[in-house]
Chain A
Amino acid sequence: MKRIYLDYAATTPTHPEVVAAMQPYFSEKFGNPSSLHAFGQEARSAVEQAREQVAKLINARPEEIVFTSSGTEANNFVLHGISFANKDKGNHIITSQIEHHAILEPCHFLEKQGFNATYLPVDKYGLVNPKDVEKALTDKTILVSIMHANNEIGTIQPIEEISEIIREKTYFHTDAVQTVGSIPVDVNKLGVDLLSLSGHKLYGPKGVGALYIKKGTRMESFIKGGGQERNRRASTENVPGIVGLGKAAELARKELNSRQKHLTELRDKLIKGVKNKIPEVVLNGHPELRLPKNVNLSVKYVEGESMLLNLDLEGVAASTGSACSSGSTEPSHVLKAIGLAPDLAQGSIRFSLGRLTTEDDINYVLDVFVKIVDKLRKMSPIYKGGA
Chain B
Amino acid sequence: MPEGYSEKVMDHFRNPHNVGEMKDPDGIGHVGNPVCGDIMEMYIKVKDNVITDAKFKTFGCGAAIATSSMMTDLVKGKTLEEALKVSNRAVVEALEGLPPRKLHCSVLAEDALKGAINDYLLKTTGKGLPDWKPHEESEGH
Contact = CB atoms under 8 A, between A and B. Distances in A.
Given A309-B2, A329-B141, A379-B65, A324 B59 contact: no
B38, B39, B59: most-surrounded residue (chain A CB, <10 A): B59
B108 to A, nearest CB: 11
B39 A329 contact: no
A328 interface: yes
Contact of A346 (B21, B38, B65): B38
B45 interface: no
Given A303-B38, A343-B37, A324 B60 contact: yes
Nearest to A343: B37
Contact of A302 (B5, B40, B59, B141): B59
A166 B112 CA distance: 55
Interface string B1-45: 110010000100110100111000000001000011111110000
A324 B61 contact: yes
A356 interface: no
B62 A346 contact: no
A308 B60 CA distance: 12
A378 B30 contact: no
A381 B19 CA distance: 11
A379 B20 contact: yes
A260 interface: no
Contacts of B14: 313
B10, B35, B60: most-surrounded residue (chain A CB, <10 A): B60
Nearest to A319: B1
A301, A308, A309, A383: most-surrounded residue (chain B CB, <10 A): A309
Contact of B57 (A303, A305, A346, A381): A381
A302, A329, A380: most-surrounded residue (chain B CB, <10 A): A329
Given A305-B2, A306-B62, A324 B16 contact: no
A323 interface: yes
B36 A329 contact: yes
Given A328-B141, A329-B141, A381-B30, A306 B61 contact: yes
B58 A305 contact: no
Determine the interface band of chain A, counting residues with CB < 8 A from chain B: 20 to 34
A382 interface: yes
A327 interface: yes
Contacts of B5: 309
B101 interface: yes
Interface string A191-224: 0000000000000000000000000000000000
Contacts of A381: 30, 39-41, 57-59
Interface in A329-354: 329, 342-343, 346
A170 interface: no
Contacts of B60: 303, 306, 324
A325 B41 CA distance: 21
Nearest to B13: A309
Contacts of B64: 303, 306, 324
B10, B30, B57: most-surrounded residue (chain A CB, <10 A): B57
Contacts of A329: 35-36, 141
A335 to B, nearest CB: 13
Interface of B: 1-2, 5, 10, 13-14, 16, 19-21, 30, 35-41, 56-62, 64-65, 101, 105, 141
15 contacts: A305-B61, A306-B64, A306-B65, A308-B1, A309-B2, A309-B13, A323-B35, A324-B36, A324-B38, A325-B61, A329-B35, A329-B36, A346-B36, A380-B58, A381-B58
Interface of A: 301-303, 305-306, 308-309, 313, 322-325, 327-329, 342-343, 346, 378-383, 387
